[in-house]
Amino acid sequence: MWGKKASLLALSAIGLSQTARAQSSDPALVAEQPAHASAPGIAYFKSLKIKIVATPNHGNLIANHSQIRLRDDVSKLQVTADRGQILDKTWIDNQFYVNDLLGKSVEADRIVLLIKLINQVILGEGYINSGVRLDEQFLPQNGEPLELSLVLGRVRSADKDGNPAVVWPRFRKNGLTTAYVADRLPATREVPFNAMTLEHQFRLLADNPAIATVNADLRAGASVGTAEITVSVEPAARCDLYAAMANNRSPSVGGVRYAIGATVRNVGHPGSYISTEIGKTRGLNDGVIAIEFPAVSPKINIVLNGSFNQASVIDRALLPLDIRSQDWSASGGMKYNVFERPLLPGNSVISAKSAIKVTLSALVIHRESRTELLGEPFSFSPGSNDGLAKYTAFRSGIDLIQRSTKHVLAGSIGLTVGIDGSRSSAFGVLTPKRHFIAAAAQVNYARRIDNSGLELRGRMFAQLVNSILYSLERVAAGGQDTVRGLRESALLADQGVIGSIELAKSFSIVSRGPTARKVSEKDLSLSVFLDGAWIGNKGRLQPERRWLSSIGVGASWSPVNGVSAKASYAKTFVTLAQAKASDLQDRGFQFQIVFRPLEFIAAHGER
């Protein structure tokens, strides 16, 4: 199995494993040498005549490993190749030259053995149905060229577009298409065909969120240098619904938020998704929508986002004035997958190669916020003109995700540059620079310490700016995702550093049958954590506290599929002035409950 949801079945002759490649003497799927070639005999040739057997517009055999050197200790024959070297006619001719087989009488067995060594190099580079073979039924005796064929293998296509055969076991495509799968397995269209490249692409396809399971059957074709592949795809569920309740909003706007959300895949375009969520906090609504779909190539995605919030958080010092604020935002741009490598197994955890994904993003954003005092426009926030603050900015970023069998690392660096924005109209209210700059970095890390469920987690976020910022770009400190034990968004600032370190232990406390749960996640996780933050403003007015910290315990529980809950309690090392009556968050408690009905029904329906 390639991962938990993918497998590739192949004939043993194809030899995808390192062991099979090392032991094989001839490339798989290439026709056998003439029977007499291994018989005793003498040949005399001064040059080679090599014919390429391939389809038009073929590529080249390339040595992707570092220095390659194969040697037969008995015959003293050897074959070498440098990394990146093209294994073409010139390279083959050079192997005969350096082994002193040109222009003299040579035993036929030495010719066959050298061809086998050449084919071992080609096979070792993943070209399982490519190689060199003798064409003629005789060996040259009088200096005529030795005629060889260089076969460049391929996969036979299943349709006129060159796609491999794709089957859907339950006759459900859920909006996917054969072309969507084939576009992510371009190795099946390439000549020469490379099994290592296919393995790489196959594992990435298995990690695709639009696909639940994928299997492939690779077999030898009917003719020389051909292979046949059948890909079996089970698409992921097209829809997901959830309902949530959490006290993850500032008590100044209600504290507890109720929300419902949905995600729909493959709407109008295979690989696309639409995600939306609507929430309510003390009668005030908020919502978000995110749309993403591939364009031009599988590496490029178009991204569109939108949100509104009738219960925006305002600065803590102004809470007693009963000021109301609401905002909305929209953004659009693209993401580009610069580099992507799947999790590749090794002989041990140490030798396994971790999965890596690097993504570039570029977005144009527009955000507006409006504030009122006693129902009238009120300008108090940076850049506010008659109660309205708005700006447009360009945001670029680079994201890195690395994961192995023992750890996950996610990091991002972003840069936001203002394009234009409103200017403050009220006397004494500062105005951000029109072309403000905000640089942000974020790192999340988790590592399994042992096999008992003990895990170390850490996260850090930092933002540095060259100007005071519009309220919607400021750093919020306090709450579930920053400094637990403080109310959500307790303090706002232009810049800051927020971090956390956590030690968690997972347990299984509910017994289930073999079909009750598809994944091996633990049911209960208990943790201890330490959170901290430093925040500050670019202007003279600084936050009530610049250093924040807390220590606490947390728990997350998934009693059945589709139901999850988490809670935490933290004790802070600082005290903030309370503008209103104490809330559960102010006493250090936070919670979240999520219910996914479709997942719940699917899991219980299979029992």
pLDDT of residue 362: 98
**Sign, Cα dihedral of 537, 542, 547, 550:** negative
Q: Are 308 and 327 in contact (CB under 8 A)?
A: yes
Q: What percent of the chain has pLDDT over 70?
A: 86
Same domain (yes/no): 585, 457:
yes
Same domain (yes/no): 443, 514:
yes
Q: Nearest Cα to 272, choosing from 281, 283, 263, 261?
A: 263
pTM summary value: 0.83
1 within domain boundaries: no
Q: Rounded mean pLDDT of the chain?
A: 86
Which of 154, 189, 208 is the C-terminal boundary of a domain?
154
Given pLDDT bands bounded at 50, 70 and 90, which one contains residue 78?
very high
Given pLDDT bands bounded at 50, 70 and 90, which one contains residue 560?
confident
Residues 354-411: tens digit of each pLDDT: 999 999 999 999 999 998 777 777 777 888 888 899 999 999 999 999 999 899 999 9
DSSP-derived 3-state class of residue 358: strand
DSSP-derived 3-state class of residue 469: coil
CB atoms within 10 A of CB 259: 19
β-strand pairing of 491-493 with 495-507: unpaired
The segment with the largest mean pLDDT, out of 143-152, 422-431, 546-555, is: 546-555
Q: Average of pLDDT values for 245-274?
A: 92
Q: Is the pLDDT of residue 64 over 50?
A: yes
Q: 115 is written with which tokens?
A: 């061809």
pLDDT of residue 605: 67
Given pLDDT bands bounded at 50, 70 and 90, which one contains residue 603?
confident
Same domain (yes/no): 85, 202:
no
Q: Are 397 and 331 in contact (CB under 8 A)?
A: no
pLDDT of residue 494: 96
pLDDT of residue 380: 74
Q: What percent of the chain has pLDDT over 90?
A: 63
Q: Is the pLDDT of residue 23 over 60?
A: no
pLDDT of residue 37: 38
Q: Is the pLDDT of residue 346 over 90?
A: no
Which of 208, 235, 262 is the C-terminal boundary of a domain?
235
Same domain (yes/no): 215, 245:
no
pLDDT of residue 41: 80
Q: Average of pLDDT values for 545-562?
A: 94
pLDDT of residue 580: 52
Q: Average of pLDDT values for 267-287?
A: 93
460 within domain boundaries: yes
Which helix (H) or strand (E) is 533 found in, with range? Answer: strand 524-536
Same domain (yes/no): 23, 35:
yes
Q: Average of pLDDT values for 507-516?
A: 58
Which of 154, 181, 207 is the C-terminal boundary of a domain?
154
pLDDT of residue 210: 94
Same domain (yes/no): 229, 368:
no
Q: Between residues 32 and 40, which one has the greater pLDDT? A: 40
pLDDT of residue 342: 92
45 within domain boundaries: yes
Q: Between residues 320 and 559, which one has the greater pLDDT? A: 559
Residues 137-166: tens digit of each pLDDT: 678 888 889 999 999 999 998 888 888 999
Cβ-Cβ contacts under 8 Å for 322 (sequence gap 6 or more): 373, 374
Quote the CA–CA distance of 4 and 170 in Å, as a whole number. Answer: 19
Given pLDDT bands bounded at 50, 70 and 90, which one contains residue 604?
confident
Could you tell me where the beta strands, DSSP code E, fall in 310-436? 323-341, 355-373, 376-377, 388-403, 407-421
Same domain (yes/no): 314, 428:
yes
Quote the CA–CA distance of 599 and 351 in Å, as a whole number. Answer: 36
pLDDT of residue 384: 87
Given pLDDT bands bounded at 50, 70 and 90, which one contains residue 91?
very high
pLDDT of residue 522: 57
**Taking the CA atoms of the chain, what radius of gyration do you get in angstroms?**
32
Q: Average of pLDDT values for 320-337?
A: 87
Same domain (yes/no): 332, 425:
yes
Angle between helices 89-98 and 108-124 (to 10 degrees): 130
10 within domain boundaries: yes
Same domain (yes/no): 220, 261:
no
Q: Which residues pair with 280 in a beta bridge?
A: 258, 285
- CATH number of the structural domain spanning residue 291: 2.40.160.50
Q: Average of pLDDT values for 275-301?
A: 94
Phi, psi of 321 (to 5 degrees): -80, -5
Residues 535-544: tens digit of each pLDDT: 999 988 888 8
Q: Are 402 and 447 in contact (CB under 8 A)?
A: no
Q: Between residues 574 and 287, which one has the greater pLDDT? A: 287
Domains held by the chain: number: 3
pLDDT of residue 28: 42
Q: Letter for the amino acid at 233? A: V
Quote the CA–CA distance of 430 and 424 in Å, as a whole number. Answer: 7
pLDDT of residue 38: 40
Q: Nearest Cα to 327, choosing from 472, 426, 424?
A: 472
- CATH number of the structural domain spanning residue 224: 3.10.20
pLDDT of residue 345: 77
Quote the CA–CA distance of 562 and 242 in Å, as a whole number. Answer: 9
244 within domain boundaries: yes
Given pLDDT bands bounded at 50, 70 and 90, which one contains residue 42?
confident
Q: Nearest Cα to 274, choosing from 263, 258, 259?
A: 263
Q: Between residues 360 and 581, which one has the greater pLDDT? A: 360
Q: Is the pLDDT of residue 12 over 60?
A: no
Residues 203-227: tens digit of each pLDDT: 999 999 999 999 999 998 888 899 9
Phi, psi of 555 (to 5 degrees): -150, 140
Residues 179/181/185/190 CA torsion (nearest 10 deg): -20
Same domain (yes/no): 62, 203:
no
In which residue are the tokens 């364009």 written? Answer: 295
Quote the CA–CA distance of 147 and 50 in Å, as a whole number. Answer: 6
Residues 305-323: tens digit of each pLDDT: 999 998 775 555 555 556 7
The segment with the largest mean pLDDT, out of 32-41, 401-410, 536-545, 598-607, is: 401-410
277 within domain boundaries: yes
37 within domain boundaries: yes
Q: 571 is written with which tokens?
A: 């004790």
pLDDT of residue 39: 42
CB atoms within 10 A of CB 565: 16
Same domain (yes/no): 164, 150:
no
584 within domain boundaries: yes
Q: Choose the weakest-confidence range: 261-270, 315-324, 483-492.
A: 315-324
Domain span at residue 16 reads: 6-154
Same domain (yes/no): 265, 283:
yes
